[in-house]
Amino acid sequence: MTKSKIETYIGFCIRAGKIRYGGAARSLKSAELLILCGTAAKNSQSECAKLARKFSCPVVKSNKKTVEELTGKARCKILAITDKSLARAILDNLDGDFTEWEAK
């Protein structure tokens, strides 16, 4: 099965060290994009909404694959992308598997 462009960009972020996983995102000073797992519980969703307000950045929700499957990190529900150009590339290639999420 082929990877989507967004999955490829997430792989680039991992290899370049431009990504933070789960709770580690809280210690960041800035982030360009957050990715929320479609299976995230209410607490994770509210944490993601807080981070989105803190960083003033958009949130993308993964609808088909879990964040664990995308990154290989167990029990991970939130990703923070710190590279501006990779975040823009992800936002420009949204499809049915990944959609923009409105933080409440």
Number of domains in the chain: 1
Alpha-helical regions (H) of 1-104: 5-16, 42-55, 67-71, 84-92
Paired strand residues for 81? 19, 33
Q: Tell me the CATH number at 71.
A: 3.30.1330.30
Residue 80 domain-assigned (yes or no): yes
Residue 101 domain-assigned (yes or no): no
What is the domain extent for residue 74? Answer: 5-95
Q: What is the residue-level pLDDT of the chain in tens, covering all 104 positions?
A: 578 899 999 999 999 999 999 888 888 999 999 999 999 999 999 999 999 999 999 999 999 999 999 999 999 999 999 999 999 999 999 988 999 998 76
Strands of the 98-101 sheet, one edge to the other: 19-21, 78-81, 33-37, 59-62, 98-101
pTM for the structure as a whole? 0.93
Residue 14 domain-assigned (yes or no): yes
Residue 10 domain-assigned (yes or no): yes
Helix (H, G, I), strand (E, B) or coil at 62: strand
